[in-house]
Structure 1
Amino acid sequence: MKLPAKKLVISSIVAASFVVLPQIGGHHSSAKAAAINTNQVLHYGESDSSVKALQDKLQDLNYYKSTIDGIYGNQTRSAVRSFQGDNNLAVDGIAGPNTLGKLFSAKVSTQKVSNDVTLTTNLKYGDRGQAVKDLQSTLNNLGYHAGTVDGIFGSTTLNAVKSFQKAQGLQSDGIVGPNTRAALAAPKTTSTPKKTNSNVNAIIADAKALIGVPYVYGGTTTKGFDCSGFTQYVFAENGISLPRTAAAQWNGGTKVNSPSKGDLVFFATVNNGPSHVGIYLGNNQFINASSSHGVTISDMNNSYWKPRYLGARSYN
């Protein structure tokens, strides 16, 4: 007599609220899938397998285009911020439960797979593509600092758009709609926005108020600064967004032949390129976060700084 075939029963318990498996498709393989706890909080500076899974998912949606290394650095934070902006989340660069839940859900938007936006599309914070590059080039040419022409509508580009809109008598909302596009094509004035004494004085006052704060490598708070963390902090206090590193601040600013008060001054202290930055005070003095003295005022003409001086950049 023929015996009935035995049934193999496999049971599994999936804690869906706790672990989500990234969807696999396109160029990804099953070996690339990784579990992630969507109830955790991932932020800048972390390094583990959860960050790697985060990068993998962001790359799958074309937000993250760097190496998947499991290190939550600037590019990962930028990708998270872009995703948050596109999905009506708080744009803070922190991958918390809301962001992770949205990112790893089946309903997540995949608009970024096609990055380029047309010139007739409203451009806003978080957008990417050739249209954003064109916008950045135009703003830079008009004297409104939009940062590096990288096609990423970040905070620096946003501030430039708002400044341009204000100068043109438009609603300063940072969104490049029909009125702003028309103004960019035929601006009322092409002159470079002028520094105001009040803005420069505020920057210098805020910088001097931090004299004595210790130097901390990688520091970006009043507990301790490195050189670019100090300049970034002071300018942010005055509504101006700077890149994070001295080299990026050098590349992003508007070149000036000689510094004015409130400009950034750069020095080559390690190699030939910019590795140190401070804020020019006038009379050949600048304030900076020195590795030996913390936040202090230095003389550009002394024997150490003078031969290392590279030039100045304006962000005002």
Structure 2
Amino acid sequence: MRKFAARGLVMAMLALGTIGVSSTVGATPASACSSQENSSAFAATLPQVNQGDRSAEVRGMQLALKDKGYGLTGTGFYGDNTLAAVKDFQREHGIKDSGIVGSKTWQALVGRMPQHQTYAGEPPATVFQPGGHYPEDMFFLHNALNRINGSTGEYGDTYDAGTQAKVREFQRTVGLPEDAVVNAPTWRALYTTFRVAGRSGC
């Protein structure tokens, strides 16, 4: 089993220049960690979301609001509780409390975060099949799931039943097929969720 201290080793190697960013797909480079920039450019890329939507952006938004003290759990569905939280957040920031999450709301919620909280490289191109053995890329899957779920722990090289269950749960919440196959749409959704939530970090 491997521990998540492995990420610290990756970041240390990046800082020392012993490996390149391209070698650590999904890691936050040292330049982003030390940057004084905010996340306004990333926030500008986010789509409008409305009540009734289900998506990675919605789940990330819910987690970002949760981290600000709102009582949301990150269901991925924009329901009544999320609407109330969004409207309250909008009022607090001088935005019309329509519940529509457009550019002004994204900038207030995500754009003001330090860049290192929302930056991530490209996810792996590897497609994970249930039961497969992925020693090179398993870190990135567990890293994404742990950032979204707020958990830590050990992990192995095999895509086991426990990890598959977490992936299925994630896929369900963001409206993807619950097949536990980690393909490009699932990778994108995972990375979008923790980036919008501001849980990239260094």
**Structure (1/2) with the larger strand percentage:** 1
So what's the TM-score if we normalise by structure 2? 0.36
**Structure (1/2) with the larger helix percentage:** 2
Q: Bigger radius of gyration, 1 or 2?
A: 1
Q: Larger RCO: Structure 1 or Structure 2 (Cα < 8 Å, ≥ 6 residues apart)?
A: 2
